[in-house]
A = this chain, B = another copy of it.
Amino acid sequence: MVYLTRVEHFNAAHKLYNPSWSQEKNEAVFGKCANEHWHGHNYELYVTIKGRPHPDTGFLYDVKQLSQLIQLHILEKLDHKNLNLDVDFMHGKLCSTENLAIAIWEQLNPHLPAAVQLHCIKLYETPRIYVEYFGE
C-alpha cells in the first residue's frame, strides 16, 4: 500500500456568515471573516489516494489523470469563484475550511477509479491554517 499526493491550487472569495443570525452576531463570532463584501484566499489543495502500484507502470494511478479529475470536478467549480454564491455543492453550507474540505471529499470520491481509495483531503486556507479530512 502506497499513498500518492497531488497538490493543486485555487483562488476564491468567501465570507463566514450564518444567515439565521443577525449581522451583529455574525461579526461577534466571525470577526473580520464576516465582512459583508467578502474576502478571499489562495487555497492549496492536497489530494491523497492510496492503493498498490500497478506492475505494468509502477503507478498507483497516473498523477496526470488524478490532476485532470481534480481539475474537472473541483477546480472548475471553485477557482476564481465566490464560495458562498457560485458553488452548487456549498449552497446552504457555512463556508468554513472544515466544511469545504468535507465537501471536496464528497465531490471527488465518486469519480476515482475502483483500484484506488481516497485517503485524505488537506486544504490550506492560509500558509498557517489547514484542515484535513479522512472521510469519516
Contact in complex: B96, A57 (CB < 8 Å):
yes
How far, in angstroms, from A81 to B97 measured CA to CA in the complex?
A: 18
User: Smallest CB-CB separation from A61: which chain B residue?
Assistant: B98
How far, in angstroms, from A16 to B30 measured CA to CA in the complex?
A: 27
A1-23 at interface with B (beta carbon < 8 Å): 1-9, 11-14, 16, 18, 21
Residues of A within 8 A of B (CB): 1-9, 11-14, 16, 18, 21, 29-33, 35, 37-42, 48, 53, 56-60, 62-64, 79-82, 85-86, 93-99, 101-102, 126-134, 136
Cβ contact of A32, chosen from B37, B80, B98, B99, cutoff 8 A: B80
How far, in angstroms, from A53 to B98 measured CA to CA in the complex?
A: 7
CB-CB under 8 A from A60, the residues of chain B are 98, 131
Which 8 A-B residue pairings sit nearest by Cβ, starting from the closest? A40-B40, A58-B96, A58-B94, A37-B82, A32-B80, A13-B38, A13-B13, A3-B132
